[in-house]
Amino acid sequence: MSLLVIGTLAYDTIETAHERREEILGGSAVYFALASSCFTPTALVGVVGRDFRAEHIAALEGAGVDLEGLEIADGETFRWSGRYEADWNTRHTLDTQLNVLEHFDPKVPERHASARFVFLANSSPQVQARGLDQVLDPEFVMLDTMNLWIDVAREELVQLLGRVDAVVLNDEEARMLTGEDNLWRAAQGVRELGPGVVVLKKGEHGAFLLAEDWRFSVPGFPVESVVDPTGAGDSFAGGFMGYVAATGDCEHPTLRQAMLYGTAAASCCVEGFSTEQIEGRSMEEIQRRYEELLRMITP
């Protein structure tokens, strides 16, 4: 198994302008692994509490996610609660209960320590670094983060950026991290912190990749009915890294294709609450959207 993700599993309570759902499956590693496992078997390292439901273990295993690295700790699973404005562009965190995440120390199972492709899903930079320490000689490590860590753990985050090959973050986070308002200069500023590849997620406007001497832009997939954008970024990363790991290299053409597959995976995710639309979607649907995206960018 060549793809490893280290991140969170959660129960989320989500309010949109139309609906409210309580205690639904979420977490960065969950969304990532459900998307990436459409492409390649994926090993997950994370922690849940005793309250984590058997049906959710079964859903992950059923999708081909290896859970040897999943710790079941005394206490409750991480909870997050948030509300989206009607235009989807603003998200308010209503409540966060770290629970078992508070003392989480990731343990990478021995047989996954040789993973070639690693995704450090959104989690504290300290947890991400401790996870990365246990991977022997990864070929391509990608990191995700969020505004919270830029605020409260900037130093640890910047240090970690020097150890990874790629980072994926949204436009607002790139601006926050660099102090640059201009999107292109912000991307360049993030690259100067270490990672050779910077991927900026721009929601409905797609994503942008900046590397040393090339860049690539992909439009958003036209989703006509957004239900819940939670997990879109993690699903994007899952499609991206899943394709890279399945292909087995990280050459330019692979990374370009990965941008399209990530976009296709994210577009499935936002069409349902929780993981219902990313779980339910086969590789066939992702492939269909990939081909539609290709048509949309072919002059």
Rounded CA gap, 168 and 150, in Å? 13
Strand pairing partners for 92?
83
Is the backbone of residue 73 left (phi > 0), alpha (psi -120 to 50) or beta?
beta
- Binds a second copy (CB under 8 A): choice among 219, 272, 276, 283: 219
| Choice between 162 and 299, CB closer to a second copy | 299
* 91 binding a second copy? (CB under 8 A): no
Question: At its nearest, how many Å lie between a second copy and the CB of residue 259?
Answer: 8
Rounded CA gap, 209 and 256, in Å? 8
Residue count, binding to a second copy (CB under 8 A):
33
| Choice between 3 and 207, CB closer to a second copy | 207
Question: At its nearest, how many Å lie between a second copy and the CB of residue 252?
Answer: 10
Site for a second copy in 167-196 (CB under 8 A): 181-185
| Choice between 54 and 86, CB closer to a second copy | 86
Evaluate whether 177 touches 150 at the Cβ level (below 8 Å): yes
Q: How many CA atoms lie within 13 A of 64 on its CB side?
A: 16
| Choice between 195 and 206, CB closer to a second copy | 206
Binding mask 248-267 for a second copy (x = CB under 8 A): -----x--xx--x-------
Q: What does the block give as tokens for 94?
A: 């209503």
Question: At its nearest, how many Å lie between a second copy and the CB of residue 213?
Answer: 11
* 211 binding a second copy? (CB under 8 A): no
- Binds a second copy (CB under 8 A): choice among 223, 272, 276, 285: 223
| Choice between 28 and 277, CB closer to a second copy | 277
* Helical spans, DSSP H, in the chain: 28-36, 54-62, 125-133, 147-152, 154-161, 171-178, 183-191, 232-247, 252-269, 276-280, 283-297
Question: At its nearest, how many Å lie between a second copy and the CB of residue 249?
Answer: 15
- Binds a second copy (CB under 8 A): choice among 92, 103, 222, 291: 222
Torsion of CA 86, 88, 94, 97, to 10 degrees: 150
* 147 binding a second copy? (CB under 8 A): no
Binding mask 20-39 for a second copy (x = CB under 8 A): --------------------
Q: What does the block give as tokens for 31?
A: 């969304």
| Choice between 132 and 259, CB closer to a second copy | 259
Evaluate whether 233 touches 199 at the Cβ level (below 8 Å): no
Closest of 172, 167, 129, 166 to residue 151, by C-alpha: 172
Q: Is 1 exposed, middle or buried (0-12, 13-18, 19+ CB in 10 A)?
A: middle
- Binds a second copy (CB under 8 A): choice among 69, 195, 206, 233: 206
* 83 binding a second copy? (CB under 8 A): no
- The residue ranges that bind a second copy (CB under 8 A) are 86-87, 181-185, 202, 204-206, 208, 214-219, 222-226, 253, 256-257, 260, 294-299
